[in-house]
Chains A and B, each alone.
Chain A
Amino acid sequence: MFFLDILSGVLLLVGVFFGFTGALGLFRFPDFFTRVHAASVTESIASILILTGLMLQTQFDLNTAKLIFILLFLMITSPTASHALAKSARHGGLLSIPESKKKKENS
């Protein structure tokens, strides 16, 4: 059990580090479309690591199954949400960096 505790602690701390990295990226990246990439770091790998770390803390019963379900659900919905966000930004007329460069050259 001791070994599992250490493994889960390491997973949790690494997951939190990735989460913090993503939040930093939200402030450091230049435009909206690149910031979505930074946010997706926190949404994919940080959730995987933190939820896996919590799974190792359970007695492998119903709670583990619930954690697996939360993980699966986040894996399906968070890309959907960022896709919808990027799509609506494009329809709203926001240009990404390569597109706005091209526009400047043309005008």
Chain B
Amino acid sequence: MIGVLATVCIAILVVMGLALARACYADTVYDRILGVNMFGTKTVLFIAAVGFLMGRPDFLDIAIVYALINFIGMIAVLRFFEYIAPIE
């Protein structure tokens, strides 16, 4: 079971890396925000999975807090960018 969990953690890390790459190399601001948003959602899943891998389910509390902060941060950034034209 540990092997499967480790595989899952590494795979989620790869997906997070891809999302971060999208956030770094994209045409418009909105593409970058999309990448960051996906990175945040994957981080929640990653924290939860790592908690089970290490046998410390207390990590779930951190995952909940991260989900909350990620959502609020995303909405705040979008409010900021709502009326700015995209970079071509």
Contact = CB atoms under 8 A, between A and B. Distances in A.
Interface of A: 5, 9, 12-13, 15-16, 19-20, 22-24, 26-27, 32, 35-36, 39, 42-43, 46-47, 50-51, 54, 57-58, 63, 66-67, 69-70, 73-74, 77-78, 80-82, 84-85, 87-89, 91-94
Tell me if A's interface is mostly helix, strand, loop or mixed: helix
Contacts of B81: 88, 92
Interface of B: 1, 4-5, 7-8, 11-12, 14-15, 18-19, 22, 28-31, 33-35, 37-38, 41-42, 44-45, 48-49, 52, 57, 60-61, 63-64, 67-68, 71, 74-75, 78, 81-86
A21 to B, nearest CB: 10
A70 B63 contact: yes
Contacts of B33: 85
B85 A43 contact: no
B3 to A, nearest CB: 9
Contacts of A63: 57, 60
